[in-house]
């Protein structure tokens, strides 16, 4: 997972793209978001767009973005039973 930011704002006020890649199939999801989305909103978007289609992932690899290092995100991972790995 990673974010592409600094994009022009759309009519729906999205100004960033959240990139989620399935490492097994190499398929990618490009989710329009706003860079000021809260962790709760990102978790909701992940649930609606990724978990709904693919089920709960067993492992998530992401960079060290503070949004994903939060206690809320870690609690969500624990509830899902997902391992959280940070890339270097």
61-87 pLDDT, tens digit each: 766 677 666 765 676 777 677 776 667
Return the domain boundaries, the chain.
2-86
Q: Rounded to the nearest 5 degrees, what angle is found at the Cα of 57, between the Cα atoms of 65 and 52? A: 100
What's the CA gap between 11 and 52, in Å, rounded?
26
Mean pLDDT of 20-39: 90
**Topology annotation, domain 2-86:** Nucleotidyltransferase; domain 5 (3.30.420)
Across the chain, mean pLDDT equals 83
Q: Could you tell me the two tokens for 11?
A: 């009519």
Phi-psi region of 3 (alpha: psi -120 to 50; beta: other; left: phi over 0): beta
């Amino acid at each position: 997972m990673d974010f592409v930011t600094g994009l022009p704002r759309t009519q729906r006020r999205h100004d960033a793209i959240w990139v989620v890649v399935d490492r097994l199939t190499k398929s990618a999801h490009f989710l329009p978001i706003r860079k000021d989305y809260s962790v709760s909103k990102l978790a909701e978007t992940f649930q609606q767009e990724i978990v709904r289609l693919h089920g709960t992932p067993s492992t998530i690899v992401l960079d060290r973005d503070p949004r994903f290092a939060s206690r809320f995100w870690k609690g969500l991972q624990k509830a899902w039973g997902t391992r959280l790995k940070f890339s270097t």
